[in-house]
């Protein structure tokens, strides 16, 4: 504030000075120093103008790609879709996967799809012509799809080829690739679609189908795929789609595997039903979710990395409770195991960053290491029963690990650290159990009031009961309408929320929680909040000093212009004392 007052005082003094006073102030500077200042100012202006011009001069194909990306603008902004460096070049369903090299991956003993097969089910896309192509990679975390967008310019117009691949979520034997060509130009778009062959796999013909066979991870695998068409043309002003599928089967013998692969391939003709089942499967895995307000502070975890990591975990695990053919008899034992998730998740919140749990995944090796780290962490934190239910249970364990939520004797505790609630966040879909099974799910929104003090907004899908830190107050009934609760800190530290299907249970629990002090959580410092909002703890002082710098530069430019004008006038100026003396000595 003092710096701002000093600057305003300086500017006011400059404005009140007459022209001759300003010139005297300028003459105090040595000419060499003034020349250096002018040179530096001109250099800075040149650099900024050069950077601005280069940043705004996009290529035509880049503009085409940017226009196409508007279709997914909302998903990208909400981190439901990762783009380029934030994307994940992997699709999987726990039975099969396809890595960033396009190679089919399977599993052997552990849950990770890290076994290489040297088979490449996807088609390579080559666009004929010499035009440059803008390539954008995207991962749809909500629907389990990896996309590659190729845009280019023809006849001054934009054409795009979009490739989408996914491993079917509820029918794990299927791999799907959808290629969409949008050609609004006056020319024909020509593509070459081919599949990379592998000498590791034997090939045989059964009718019109080609069966690829190989022994992988002590099992016989067979793959049947749609044939690659080779050359494809899309006429002017047309949009066309091409769909390709592969079915993969593993059995003790190659004959059994071949029969299953052919059967799966022939039964997958109804693409509309298959796609609907896939999307429904992924939506069920997101019934338990977590989100957090975006932060610009350094070393802070944001939604892009959280959603990508969760997607990687889900893609490496099967979902037996929702897969095609699952029956009540097969699902019920798994649900009973999930009810016995006592102490999952024990430990502090996993929102700490940086951490091995949030490492990069830019290579298949790093991606599988990331999955192994999370799985080991879940197992050692009491989540084995949840993991037995597959991807859906792991999704729940993932959210519980972020919120430090755990089950204890018929109630759920949320043990987040009150001092870490700097940002608004929410989590939903965590079930609450009774002796009869799931009685409801909860949603918790963590918000900040005008004083930067955190508080809870809690709701549930059915009637449950909740009490806050220390459980000293009477339990509050929960329903679909959110209930506001304060964030309380206690000594010794206890959980922030206790949620149970029975009011009586929480009333009894109060007598088992022993604290000496309890009070409302303190308000967070404004500098901490500002760090998350703008990435600066100075409350916007950087912007102020940039403004000061711009004003100083502008002032020196004005002064330099005045000096230059006066110098150019030379002997014609009436202020030249030599001329004044000469004119005064002339007779009238």
Residue range 398-445, pLDDT digits in tens: 999 999 999 988 899 999 999 889 899 999 999 998 877 788 999 999
**Does residue 569 fall inside a structural domain?**
yes
| pLDDT value of position 333 | 79
Kindly state whether residues 112 and 249 are assigned to the same domain.
yes
| pLDDT value of position 109 | 76
Q: Give the pLDDT band (50/70/90) at residue 287.
A: very high
CA–CA separation, 382 and 104 (whole Å): 32
Kindly state whether residues 30 and 90 are assigned to the same domain.
no
Entry field: residues in the chain: 588
CA–CA separation, 104 and 117 (whole Å): 6
pLDDT tens for 12-60 read 566 566 656 656 665 665 554 555 566 555 555 555 544 444 433 468 8
**Does residue 281 fall inside a structural domain?**
no
**Does residue 519 fall inside a structural domain?**
yes
Q: What is the mean pLDDT of residues 449-466?
A: 94
Kindly state whether residues 382 and 449 are assigned to the same domain.
no
Nearest-CA neighbor of 321 among 235, 404, 438, 455?
438
Average pLDDT of the chain is 85
Angle at 178 between CA 176 and CA 181, to 5 degrees: 170
**Does residue 534 fall inside a structural domain?**
no
| pLDDT value of position 529 | 82
Kindly state whether residues 249 and 398 are assigned to the same domain.
no
**Does residue 336 fall inside a structural domain?**
yes
Backbone φ and ψ for 144, nearest 5 degrees, come out as 65, 45
Nearest-CA neighbor of 60 among 162, 185, 237?
185
Boundary residue ending a domain (377, 403, 429): 403
Kindly state whether residues 369 and 431 are assigned to the same domain.
no
Kindly state whether residues 555 and 522 are assigned to the same domain.
no
pLDDT tens for 97-154 read 999 999 999 998 777 999 999 999 999 999 998 789 999 999 999 999 999 999 999 8
Kindly state whether residues 196 and 113 are assigned to the same domain.
yes
pLDDT tens for 316-342 read 999 999 999 888 887 887 777 777 767
Boundary residue ending a domain (275, 297, 314): 275
Angle between helices 391-403 and 364-380 (to 10 degrees): 70
Number of domains in the chain: 4
**Does residue 415 fall inside a structural domain?**
yes
Kindly state whether residues 233 and 358 are assigned to the same domain.
no
**3-state class of 254 per DSSP?**
helix
Instruction: Write out the residue range of the structural domain in which residue 398 sits.
Output: 286-403
| pLDDT value of position 579 | 45
- CATH number reported for the structural domain that contains residue 82 in this entry: 2.70.98
**3-state class of 538 per DSSP?**
coil
Boundary residue ending a domain (252, 275, 298): 275
Nearest-CA neighbor of 151 among 63, 239, 58?
63
**Does residue 535 fall inside a structural domain?**
no
The more confident residue out of 464 and 325 is: 464
pTM over 0.95: no
Kindly state whether residues 178 and 78 are assigned to the same domain.
yes
Kindly state whether residues 188 and 216 are assigned to the same domain.
yes
Cβ-contact 306, 356 below 8 angstroms: no
Kindly state whether residues 249 and 292 are assigned to the same domain.
no
Kindly state whether residues 154 and 194 are assigned to the same domain.
yes
Alpha carbon 192 to its chain's center: 33
Beta strands in 283-339 (DSSP E): 289-292
**Does residue 280 fall inside a structural domain?**
no
CA–CA separation, 64 and 158 (whole Å): 5
| pLDDT value of position 545 | 60
């Amino acid at each position: 504030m003092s710096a701002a007052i000093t600057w305003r005082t300086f500017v006011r003094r400059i404005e009140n000075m007459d022209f001759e006073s300003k010139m005297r102030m300028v003459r105090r500077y040595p000419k060499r120093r003034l020349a250096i200042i002018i040179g530096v100012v001109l250099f800075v202006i040149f650099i900024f103008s050069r950077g601005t011009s280069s940043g705004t001069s996009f290529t035509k194909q880049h503009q085409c790609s940017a226009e196409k990306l508007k279709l997914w603008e909302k998903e990208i902004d909400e981190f439901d879709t990762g783009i380029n460096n934030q994307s994940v070049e992997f699709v999987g369903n726990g039975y099969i996967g396809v890595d960033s090299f396009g190679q089919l991956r399977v599993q052997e003993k552990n849950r990770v799809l890290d076994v290489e097969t040297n088979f490449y089910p996807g088609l390579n896309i080559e666009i004929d012509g010499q035009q440059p192509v803008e390539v954008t990679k995207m991962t749809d975390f909500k629907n389990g799809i990896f996309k590659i967008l190729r845009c280019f310019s023809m006849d001054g117009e934009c054409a795009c080829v979009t490739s989408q691949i996914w491993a079917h979520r509820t029918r794990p034997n299927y791999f799907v690739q959808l290629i969409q060509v949008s050609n609004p130009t006056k020319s024909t778009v020509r593509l070459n679609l081919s599949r990379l062959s592998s000498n590791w796999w034997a090939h045989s013909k059964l009718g019109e189908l080609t069966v690829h066979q190989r022994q992988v991870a002590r099992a016989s695998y067979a793959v049947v795929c749609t044939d690659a068409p080779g050359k494809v043309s899309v006429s002017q002003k047309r949009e066309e789609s091409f769909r390709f599928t592969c079915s993969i089967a593993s059995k003790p013998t190659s004959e059994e595997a071949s029969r299953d692969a052919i059967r799966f391939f022939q039964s997958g003709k109804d693409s509309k039903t298959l796609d609907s089942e896939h999307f429904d499967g992924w939506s069920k895995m997101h019934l338990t979710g977590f989100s957090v307000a975006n932060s610009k502070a350094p070393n802070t975890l944001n939604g892009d990395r959280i959603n990508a990591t969760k997607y990687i975990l889900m893609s490496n695990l099967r979902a037996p409770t929702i897969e095609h053919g699952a029956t009540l008899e097969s699902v019920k034992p798994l649900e009973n195991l999930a009810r016995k998730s006592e102490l999952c998740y024990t430990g502090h919140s996993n929102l700490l960053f940086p951490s091995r749990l949030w490492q990069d995944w830019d290579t298949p090796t790093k991606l599988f290491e990331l999955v192994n780290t999370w799985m080991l962490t879940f197992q050692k934190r009491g989540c084995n029963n949840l993991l037995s239910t597959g991807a859906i249970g792991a999704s729940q364990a993932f959210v519980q690990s972020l919120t430090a939520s755990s089950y204890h004797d018929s109630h759920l505790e949320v043990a987040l650290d009150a001092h870490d609630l700097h940002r608004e966040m929410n989590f939903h879909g965590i079930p609450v159990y009774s002796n009869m099974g799931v009685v409801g799910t909860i949603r918790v929104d963590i918000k900040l009031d005008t004083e930067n003090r955190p508080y809870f907004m809690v709701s549930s899908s059915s009637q449950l009961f909740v009490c806050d830190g220390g459980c000293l107050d009477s339990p509050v009934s929960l329903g679909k309408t959110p209930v506001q609760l304060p964030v309380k800190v206690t000594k010794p530290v206890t959980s922030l929320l206790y949620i149970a299907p029975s009011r009586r249970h929480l009333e009894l629990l109060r007598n088992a929680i022993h604290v000496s002090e309890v009070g409302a959580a303190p308000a967070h410092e404004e500098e901490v909040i500002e760090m998350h909002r703008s990435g600066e703890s100075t409350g916007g002082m950087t912007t102020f000093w940039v403004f000061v710098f711009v004003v100083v530069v502008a002032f020196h430019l004005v002064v330099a212009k005045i000096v230059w004008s006066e110098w150019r006038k030379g002997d014609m100026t009436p202020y030249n004392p030599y001329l004044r003396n000469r004119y005064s000595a002339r007779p009238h």
